Amino acid sequence: MTDKPFLDRYRVPGVFTGLEGFEAQIDALSADAGAVAALVHGLLIHEGLAGAYGVTLAPGRGDEKQLHGAAAMLRQAMRLHDRPITETRAPEHRVVSVCRHFATLFTAVLRRKGVPARVRCGFANYFQPGKHLDHWVGEYWNEAQGRWVLVDAQVDDLQRRLFNLTLDPLDLPRDRFLVGGDAWRACRQGADPMGFGVSGTEMWGLVEVYGDIFQDLAALQNIELLPWGWYGLATDQAGMAETALIDQLADISSRADEAAMAELAALLAADERLRPPHDRVAQTVKAEAAV
């Protein structure tokens, strides 16, 4: 059983999931996960997939992926096309993003609708055969079913065709998307770490899995960092040698329930290396509010 106070922490906006200035438009929308994902599809475009939508990004547009907050994304969407955010933009008028932005905006909208939701960081094995690619998805609490449901808010119909997907992006199987902790455990149990990494880069191996544990734990604390925004012990590869600690953190990521989060809170209180970069986050929030 999942207690209401625990779920309530994921109903309210975090530092990057507020929707200031857009509340009325969001309030008029359905809380259905599919409808929210469709809204996100019409507002964002993945930088690495722009060509699939017939878009050649102008110089400088890639900087849009440095935005953290959901409200900042929506303000940029309005700059690109001054229409209600509920209107689907042409691909060239969508905010340039990566997977983390899709997951964050999806989560922000569901939270505004009163649905417990959170962002998860890990690895998807449905884009490239035999590989687990660094990826971010959303997760919401399905009250009727009494479970957390993983949603890939990036995957639309075009991407389903592009990647020949037969799975349902609105209910991802847990063996097709591994949160950071599950990926670490898989590697510890014999999976090849070199099968885990960032598409189109040389960033592969156990260190990528290690880093994603920390990113997932930050997201579980309602701090959705950018994929390259590693912090604390994650920035020190020597930390991987602290096997018992990393195994414990991975287990917390895997469980992600009330008891796990209480365990994490105790670890954070005792070890500052595990804490998200609150000063950096505060500076980012202030900077984006001024734009």
Torsion of the alpha carbons at 236, 240, 243 and 246, rounded to the nearest 10: 70
pLDDT at residue 168 is higher than 90? yes
Whole-angstrom distance, CA of residue 97 vs CA of residue 163: 19
Q: What is the pLDDT of residues 169-223, one digit of tens each?
A: 999 999 999 999 999 999 999 999 999 999 999 999 999 999 999 999 999 999 9
- Other CB atoms within 10 Å distance of the CB of residue 160: 14
pLDDT at residue 3 is higher than 90? no
Q: How confident is the model at residue 88 (pLDDT cuts 50, 70, 90)?
A: very high
pTM above the 0.95 mark? yes
Mapped onto helix, strand or coil, the DSSP state of residue 122 is strand
Using alpha carbons, select from 214, 285, 225, 213 the residue that is nearest to residue 98: 225
pLDDT more than 70, % of the chain: 100
pLDDT at res. 1:
56
Range of the domain at 239: 4-289
pLDDT at residue 89 is higher than 80? yes
* Structural contact between residues 234 and 264, judged by C-beta atoms closer than 8 angstroms: no
**In total, how many domains does the chain have?**
1
Whole-angstrom distance, CA of residue 217 vs CA of residue 224: 9
Q: What is the pLDDT of residues 49-74, one digit of tens each?
A: 999 999 999 999 999 999 999 999 99
Using alpha carbons, select from 55, 181, 51 the residue that is nearest to residue 123: 181
Strand segments, DSSP code E, in the chain are 44-46, 95-97, 117-124, 132-142, 147-151, 177-179, 196-197
* Structural contact between residues 261 and 188, judged by C-beta atoms closer than 8 angstroms: no
pLDDT at residue 290 is higher than 90? no
Using alpha carbons, select from 123, 127, 126, 153 the residue that is nearest to residue 138: 153
Q: 144-148 contacts: CB < 8 A, separation 24 or more?
A: 146/2, 148/256
For 271, what's the count of Cα atoms within 13 Å in the CB-facing half-sphere? 13
